[in-house]
């Protein structure tokens, strides 16, 4: 299956999940959102993920604030693409219409009730749907703290979710 996983990551947690999902999909291409903007993301399945910031998708400002906070905190490192533009929000607003192509979305967020943390994957799904994508699944992967690390077992869960997506798309393609 031709699948692409596009992600935005500040501390590297969302990138790690994106890579695990790609493995579960059978080796899908993985790229940060600023590279997807330059190359396009045409695929049989587009998987898009980002961190949950302030109850939703990250903004340029929230990514800058997170980067500034990371510089002040010992032991916290930024993802190499943390402040690259465009971010996920702008990329989604400029995305070409898909005419029914399939997509799945994911986010990383704190391990608390969604009404407390927000859920970025829902906002990503809404934006993709507006561009004509058929949303086949959304998922949240949990971090222990705002900067991470991921909760134990989340990368295994991400690989399993990728495999489940691959099977779901294969089933609907052959039907």
Q: Are 8 and 14 in contact (CB under 8 A)?
A: yes
| Of 91, 72, 64, the residue nearest 6 (C-alpha) | 91
CATH number listed for the domain at residues 3-174: 3.40.50.360
User: pTM for the full model?
Assistant: 0.91
Residue 14 pLDDT level (bands cut at 50, 70, 90): very high
pLDDT at 155: 98
Q: Are 66 and 11 in contact (CB under 8 A)?
A: yes
pLDDT at 113: 86
Where exactly are the structural domains of the chain?
3-174
Query: What are 126-174's pLDDT values in tens digits?
Result: 999 999 999 999 999 999 988 889 999 999 999 999 999 999 988 876 6
Query: What are 43-87's pLDDT values in tens digits?
Result: 889 999 999 877 777 767 877 787 777 777 766 777 777 777 888
């Amino acid at each position: 299956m031709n699948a692409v996983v596009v992600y935005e990551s500040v501390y590297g947690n969302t990138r790690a999940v994106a890579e695990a999902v790609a493995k579960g999909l059978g080796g899908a291409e993985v790229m940060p959102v600023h590279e997807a903007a330059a190359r396009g993301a045409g695929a049989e399945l587009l998987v898009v993920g980002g961190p949950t910031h302030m109850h939703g998708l990250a903004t340029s400002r929230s990514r800058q604030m997170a980067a500034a906070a990371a510089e002040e905190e010992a032991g916290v490192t930024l993802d190499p693409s943390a402040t690259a533009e465009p971010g996920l929000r702008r990329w989604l607003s400029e995305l070409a219409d898909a005419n029914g192509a399939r997509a799945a979305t994911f986010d990383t967020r704190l391990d608390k009730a969604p009404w407390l943390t927000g859920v970025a994957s829902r906002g990503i799904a809404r934006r993709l749907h507006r561009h004509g994508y058929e949303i086949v699944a959304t998922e949240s992967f949990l971090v222990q703290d705002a900067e991470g690390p991921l909760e134990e077992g989340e990368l295994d869960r991400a690989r399993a979710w990728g495999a489940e997506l691959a099977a779901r798309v294969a089933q609907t393609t052959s039907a």
